[in-house]
């Protein structure tokens, strides 16, 4: 199931990448961290799945007569790195733009909660960053054996 969940996350991120002002952002996987550009020349978003857990299982009638399913909770961290020539307020604005893009592109309504961290400093890339922590709830269904 993790592969299907990862595919859905990838689809969401792909749509977000094409949304408005976000098209100028660079998206990278969070690991390995040595792939973070140094110096950061444009807003860079490192996406990381912090964990997936099964929240609930149901059988029949709740989703449909012949459906079984599972509700998964996924914790996703989007770490936004700012170019060194920008100010802290522009990092906050970039995070707001990304959060707006996530909300606009969430056609499946996966997003249950969004939270922002404070501003931090990454010594390896020598730049400021801020995390957007997103809780996704994904329902995966399958045909029930009758």
10-residue averages of pLDDT along the chain (146 residues) = 83 94 91 75 93 77 61 94 87 96 94 95 87 93 59
Under the phi-then-psi rule, with left for phi > 0, alpha for psi from -120 to 50, and beta for the rest, what region is 60?
Answer: left
Domain that holds residue 133: 2-75+93-143
CATH number assigned to the domain comprising residue 67: 3.30.2000
Q: What is the pLDDT of residue 1?
A: 54
Describe the strand order of the beta sheet including 67-81 as a list of residue ranges.
26-29, 44-59, 67-81, 127-143, 111-122
Domain assignment present for 88: no
63 part of a folded domain: yes
Please check whether residue 80 lies inside any domain of the structure. no
Q: Provide the number of structural domains found in the chain.
A: 1
pTM of the model: 0.85
Residue 113 lies in a domain: yes
Question: Is residue 82, in this structure, part of any structural domain at all?
Answer: no
Residue 69 lies in a domain: yes
């Amino acid at each position: 199931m993790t592969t299907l969940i990862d595919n859905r996350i990838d689809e969401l991120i792909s749509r977000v990448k094409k949304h408005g002002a976000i098209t100028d952002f660079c998206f990278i996987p969070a690991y390995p961290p040595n792939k973070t550009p140094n110096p950061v020349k444009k807003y860079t978003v490192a996406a990381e799945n912090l964990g997936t857990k099964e929240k609930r299982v149901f059988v029949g009638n709740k989703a449909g007569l012949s459906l079984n399913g599972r509700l998964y909770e996924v914790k996703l961290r989007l770490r936004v790195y700012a170019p060194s020539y920008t100010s802290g307020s522009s990092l906050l604005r970039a995070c707001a733009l990304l959060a707006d893009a996530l909300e606009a592109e969430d056609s499946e309504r996966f997003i249950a909660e969004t939270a922002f961290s404070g501003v931090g400093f990454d010594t390896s890339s020598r730049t400021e960053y801020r995390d957007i922590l997103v809780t996704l709830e994904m329902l995966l269904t399958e045909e029930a054996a009758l």
